[in-house]
Amino acid sequence: MTAAATATASDTGAPSIPGDTRWPIVLAVVLTAVLQVLDSTIVNIALPQMQAAFGITNSQTVWILTSYIVASVVVMPLTGFFVRRFGRRRLITWAILGFSGFSALCGLSWSVEVIVACRIGQGLFGAFLIPLSQSILFDSFPREKRGQAMALFGLGVVVAPVLGPTLGAFLTEYFSWRAVFYVNLPIAAFALVMISGELQKDEVKHLSVDWVGLALMVGAVAALQLMLDLGETWGWFSSHLIQLAAITLVVCSIVFVARGLGKRDNIIDFSLLKDRSFAAANVAILGFGVAMFGSIAILPLFVQGLLGYPVIEAGYLFIPRGIAAGISMVLTGSVLMARFDPRLLVALGLVLTGTGNLWLGWLDMTAGFWDLSWPGVVSGLGMGLFFVPMSTLAFQNVSQERQDEASGIYGVTRSIGSSIGIAIVGWQVASRMQFHWSALSAGITPFNPAVGAYLAPLGLDAQTSQGAVIIAGQIQIQSTMLAFLDAFWLTGIAAFLMLPVVLILERPEKAARSVMVE
């Protein structure tokens, strides 16, 4: 059956939520979206304090981040199923309650095992917040105002992770690392009151769960995350465990896709990907996630570990980026979307995001606050230009009854992109550090005149143990610096590589006349 035969409010461009209740719901769902994405970065800058509190290693610390992402990625594609089974209002209410409850437990944690378990709980419940918020917001506005709706949504979804380190730095500096979890509670309480009072109950259906499909998807996602998190530490494919994870990923993915191609009740409805704009948008958001989150993940490590910034100043670096992203989104949704081809705005957003990341790759040890901030401003402008039109283009052909499923797929793709980005830049820094160490060490000997000139003001000689220690320390600093710069370059290139995908997106005028996806 085609959408023409089952026209909905969304198909015709009319809002399904009355105008008198629209804005309270909009505020509530944007806040719930902020909750989910904020927790993907607000914790980053507090990790050293958690590491000291629990007495754990760097590899154990990573699981505090990735456990949240893995749980979110596993559950997010189930959003459409749970909406049909329980209804939007009931599901988003449960999601907010569960997310805030596990946030409180994270703040009360006394060991790394407890906080990782609670972060998994956060991810499981929080996974529903983004797709539900996006689909509710999309249905709250008529077609001609959905660019503004996506701007509001994007203002929260993109600005929140950018400013997450800033808020995390403030809370950690003046309160405790536990406060980065407690801050969720008042926001969740406000959103819960607004939603329970304004969002209407919707129809529910009794559906069965595709447990085999769910198990296959969990296996694939867990294997992928294991490879990304531990591949560098364990020597990639020289490790039998990484080899097993790779085999598990390939087998589970192939079987999952093969089962799902001919089924409408699969965990993920692959027929949605027949729409070329939705498919292309998922590819683009994957690459953009690598570029955006990869850069954001390593910048605090770069400025704190290498340039010696205190935690609060490292957080302040994200303020100009966040302001630029917010201004860009508002202008894009309210002005630019009505005047320019959205595909052009997406392309410009990719160019600016990539340029800002490449700019970071040109810095050196003398970089000051604004040397680090201006590239962030350029990237922030690009984020706003990219996110709003891309979200609109992605869902332009998706009918109302399939918004929740499509939002779940889109959210999973973005989360996987961010996870891949974090893993890739971590691997890049580690591997390139070794490369630059070897290259620099080969050119520095006790008989090199430059080495003697560097040590002379200190009254040292390169052939003494003291001089050798100082030179080794400088090699370590310079090789680390170059490795970080290479990682910034990689995130910039990732953004530029997505430009050809823009050509696949349909023109909005054509899409408006086309038949909706079944």
Q: Give me the mean pLDDT over the 472-493 stretch.
A: 87
Rounded Cα distance between 318 and 413, Å, is: 24
Please write down the HEC assignment for all residues of 148-210.
HHHHHHHHHHHHHHHHHHHHHHHHHHHCCCCHHHHCHHHHHHHHHHHHHHHCCCCCCCCCCCC
Question: Can you give the pLDDT at residue 411?
Answer: 77
Question: Can you give the pLDDT at residue 357?
Answer: 94
Q: b/e per residue, 264-274, with b = 16+ CB within 10 A?
A: eebbbbbbbee
Share above pLDDT 90 across residues of the chain, in percent, rounded to a whole number = 15
Note the pLDDT tens digit of each residue in 491-511.
Answer: 999 999 999 999 998 877 544
DSSP 41: T
Residue 52: pLDDT band (50, 70, 90) is: confident
Name the residue type at position 79: T
Residue 33: pLDDT band (50, 70, 90) is: confident
Rounded Cα distance between 298 and 342, Å, is: 30
Question: Can you give the pLDDT at residue 511?
Answer: 42
| Helices 88-107 and 129-139, packing angle to 10 deg | 140
Residue 215 scores a pLDDT above 80:
yes
Residue 517 scores a pLDDT above 90:
no
Are 275 and 397 in contact by the 8 Å Cβ rule? The answer is yes
Question: Can you give the pLDDT at residue 102?
Answer: 93
Residue 336 scores a pLDDT above 70:
yes
Extract the tokens encoding 483: 């490795």
Residue 82: pLDDT band (50, 70, 90) is: confident
Residue 308: pLDDT band (50, 70, 90) is: confident
The size of the chain, in residues, is 518
Rounded Cα distance between 330 and 328, Å, is: 6
Note the pLDDT tens digit of each residue in 378-388.
Answer: 999 998 899 88
Residue 284: pLDDT band (50, 70, 90) is: very high
Note the pLDDT tens digit of each residue in 171-196.
Answer: 888 888 888 889 889 888 888 887 77
Question: Can you give the pLDDT at residue 170?
Answer: 84
Rg of the chain over all Cα atoms, to the nearest angstrom: 24
Rounded Cα distance between 389 and 404, Å, is: 19
Cα dihedral 13, 15, 16, 17, rounded to 10, equals 170
Residue 2 scores a pLDDT above 50:
no
Cα 103 off chain centre by:
19
Most confident of 373-387, 444-458, 469-483: 373-387
Give the angle 504-508-514 at the CA atoms, nearest 5°: 90
Report in angstroms the alpha-carbon separations of 118 from 74, 195, 214, 442: 16, 25, 22, 48
Residue 12: pLDDT band (50, 70, 90) is: very low
Most confident of 81-85, 90-94, 229-233: 90-94
Question: Can you give the pLDDT at residue 11?
Answer: 46
DSSP string, 307-341: S---HHHHHHTHHHHHHHHHHHHHHIIIIIHHHS-
Mean pLDDT, the chain, rounded, equals 79
Residue 74: pLDDT band (50, 70, 90) is: confident
Q: Phi and psi of 516, rounded to 5°?
A: -65, 155
Give the closest residue to 299 by CA, choosing from 138, 427, 165, 194: 165
Q: b/e per residue, 221-231, with b = 16+ CB within 10 A?
A: bbbbbbbbbbb
Give the closest residue to 178 by CA, choosing from 66, 43, 38, 301: 43
Residue 20: pLDDT band (50, 70, 90) is: low
> Residue 336, Cβ neighbours under 10 Å: how many?
20
Give the closest residue to 315 by CA, choosing from 156, 484, 167, 161: 167
Q: Give me the mean pLDDT over the 274-293 stretch.
A: 89
Share above pLDDT 70 across residues of the chain, in percent, rounded to a whole number = 80
Rounded Cα distance between 471 and 223, Å, is: 42
Rounded Cα distance between 499 and 193, Å, is: 42
Question: Can you give the pLDDT at residue 462?
Answer: 60
Question: Can you give the pLDDT at residue 488?
Answer: 93
Rounded Cα distance between 500 and 249, Å, is: 28
Q: Phi and psi of 239, rounded to 5°?
A: -95, 135
More confident residue, 22 or 98: 98
The residue whose two tokens read 């995908």 is 501
Give the angle 186-188-189 at the CA atoms, nearest 5°: 65
Residue 468: pLDDT band (50, 70, 90) is: low
Are 188 and 65 in contact by the 8 Å Cβ rule? The answer is no
DSSP 456: G
Rounded Cα distance between 315 and 318, Å, is: 6
The residue whose two tokens read 């604004």 is 370
Residue 353 scores a pLDDT above 90:
yes
Give the closest residue to 140 by CA, choosing from 30, 254, 241, 292: 30
Name the residue type at position 195: I
Rounded Cα distance between 359 and 378, Å, is: 9
Rounded Cα distance between 367 and 388, Å, is: 32
Residue 48: pLDDT band (50, 70, 90) is: confident
The residue whose two tokens read 């966040």 is 322
